[in-house]
Amino acid sequence: DAGVTQSPTHLIKTRGQQVTLRCSPKSGHDTVSWYQQALGQGPQFIFQYYEEEERQRGNFPDRFSGHQFPNYSSELNVNALLLGDSALYLCASSANRGITLHFGNGTRLTVT
Amino acid sequence: AQSVSQHNHHVILSEAASLELGCNYSYGGTVNLFWYVQYPGQHLQLLLKYFSGDPLVKGIKGFEAEFIKSKFSFNLRKPSVQWSDTAEYFCAVNADRGSTLGRLYFGRGTQLTVWP
């Protein structure tokens, strides 16, 4: 059991569409980070949410946005999808902005 | 920006062989270091971490890693691998201050295949 749950597990979208991915953190965790893992690469940091605010952001365009809810769950939104957005999107949670991360199984996004 | 290099992309070993996976990073300040493992079909799991203190860190499943500050390295080792160690291994680095606080930088991973 990952503790961190992500939905959906797989998603197929067309270029130009928008997508929303969801994450529930491990019990007791209040910080959620999102990572993108392209095929054959390591995860790349997208952003981190804590206290319902974006606290840090990686080198991703504004098409990538997020939200954190009062129950600490989080959403990742990607607008105007490009073929290059095809990847595994990982959610990771931690306590109090800690860096010991617990990862979910990820959402596999395919853009056609 | 920080970067993490894992020089071995695919390592193939027989059971009982010894393992060493290399990890080098580029950051001159104080770092926190991690090794994560991803078994087939499973989520990334923490193997071990180094924040401070003894540079030889022991993790789960018999793995250990050594932090060598002068070499900017954090190599993962296991004296005798098992078939069940077949997985992808990721090294990750975090700077303990500044604008990248809370962000992990990952290497591209090393796929380990262990033959029974």
- Quick: pLDDT tens for A62-91: 999 999 999 999 999 999 999 999 999 999
Q: Decide if A8 contacts A91 (C-beta within 8 A).
A: no
CB-based contact (8 Å) between B100 and chain A? yes
What integer pLDDT is reported at residue B21 of this predicted model? 97
What integer pLDDT is reported at residue B98 of this predicted model? 60
What integer pLDDT is reported at residue A1 of this predicted model? 56
CA angle A73-A59-B9, nearest 5°? Answer: 95
Number of A:B CB contacts under 8 A? Answer: 56
What integer pLDDT is reported at residue B100 of this predicted model? 57
Residues of chain A predicted below pLDDT 70? 1-2
CB-based contact (8 Å) between B52 and chain A? no
Residue B99 has pLDDT above 80, yes or no: no
3-class secondary structure, A60: coil
Query: For chain B, how far is it from start to end, CA to CA, in angstroms?
Result: 41
- Cα–chain-centroid distance for residue B110? 9
